[in-house]
Amino acid sequence: MTALNTAEAMTPDDRVERALDYRFRDRELFARALTHRSAGRHHNERLEFLGDAVLGYAVADRLYRARPLESEDVLSILRASLVRKESLAEIGARLGLGEAIRLGAGERNSGGHERPSILANALEALIGAVHMDGGEAAAVALVDRLFGDRFETASAAAAKDAKTRLQEHLQAQNMPLPVYAVVAAAGAAHKRVFTVHCRVEAFELEVSASGSSRRAAEIAAAEQALKVLEADHG
């Protein structure tokens, strides 16, 4: 069989595994990671939950090692820019997840295979599945392959922080801007921890987050708000 024929014979799942450079031992786990809730009861949301945590840890660890001179605030901004839904969806599209994701008929007919939130969630589910199938080292190695040199080249100045993205998201829909308020500040003067409350009136959404400065806490709260909005509204 020629190389062309071999490529044509590959299924979307095969192409995803090749792009991941990881072969699943547990095939059911792999299939579940690629199954959207619209396609059945055994979907990928629990794996997405796990993958989100593994991704956050892996990116934080890699940034810590790759950027030894950066402050905590800058590292937090870089991490947020790398793991935001837009970035994950871009990687997911590059891997060919759109063709491999199992979707209900209605979701696929409405273009769900191209929806950024679905691609991003499936990528997180795959990271969680690799963690379950091959362990922490395999999952961290996968994250390293997926992001490549972005850990070294990511720019805090160039990346739109979550506050900016949340503001733009609301402005695009002619909705009121979020309201931020510091609700706590604790710790010694040189090591303060601020807790900020963020309210998005249009969606009756309230979240809180902490950071080593007011700005860092506001960015973290905005990131939490964006995650909720993306999960609820795609």
**Span 142-200, pLDDT tens digits:** 999 999 888 888 876 666 678 888 898 899 899 999 999 999 998 877 678 899 999 99
Which residues are known to be catalytic?
A: 52, 124
Tokens of 23: 């072969």
pLDDT score of 111 = 84
Q: How many CB atoms lie within 10 A of CB 177?
A: 13
Cα distance between residue 10 and residue 6, in whole Å: 7
Cα distance between residue 169 and residue 200, in whole Å: 11
**Amino acid at site 47:** L
DSSP state, 154?
-
Cα distance between residue 184 and residue 10, in whole Å: 55
Q: Model's pTM, two decimal places?
A: 0.71
pLDDT score of 1 = 45
Ranges of beta strands (E only) in 63-187 are 179-186
Q: Which of 127, 156, 115, 130 is CA-nearest to residue 56? A: 127
Cα distance between residue 143 and residue 56, in whole Å: 10
Domains and CATH numbers, the chain: 12-157 (1.10.1520.10), 160-234 (3.30.160.20)
